Amino acid sequence: MSGYISQNTFNTAAVIAAEHLMFNPTSFIDVVFKIAENYRGSYKDDTLVKDVADAGREIALLLEKAFPGPPEEQHKQLTQILYCTVKYNPDGSKIPFRIFNGTLFNSEKAHIQDLAKNSATDIAAYISLVSKGIIPKMPTGWKFSDK
């Protein structure tokens, strides 16, 4: 284990959890455990299950309020936010390309307090930045696996 999970990495995990809560709620807790298990081998954070679940719930509520409408449109907007977490910082700046992309090079030295609260704040910022055109729309057909 190299360090603690970064806020950007956590935001991505939380949006994935929110997606499952919104569109497949029966698998939500299973997905949260799977996300935490995937990251637990790379990061020292012991509260990932709780943090990801809390953030996923908060983000799902935020997205449902920001994007009322049919599920297809909500899913499209959620995918846009996922794109933002992978490609942009919450201030709208582009995440620089990393030659070394492993957790050893992309972790924090100390645990970030309030990961879930910070994540909801960051997602609200992404929603605002996309609506203002500061962050561009994701390319047509973009998928998380394309990251």
Tens digit of pLDDT for each residue in 54-87? Answer: 999 999 999 999 988 899 999 999 999 999 999 9
Report whether 54 contacts 32 (CB < 8 A).
no
Return the pLDDT at 119: 95
Q: What percent of the chain has pLDDT over 90?
A: 52
Return the pLDDT at 104: 47
Round to the nearest angstrom and report the end-to-end CA distance of the chain. Answer: 23
Interior angle at CA 136, CA 135 and CA 140, nearest 5: 145
Pairwise CA distance, residues 139 & 6, whole Å: 25
Residue 125 neighbours by CB under 8 Å, 6+ apart = 90, 91
The answer for 32, left when phi > 0, alpha when psi is -120 to 50, beta otherwise, is alpha
94: which strand partners?
A: 88
pTM of the model: 0.87
Reference 33, options 17, 57, 55, 15; nearest CA is 17
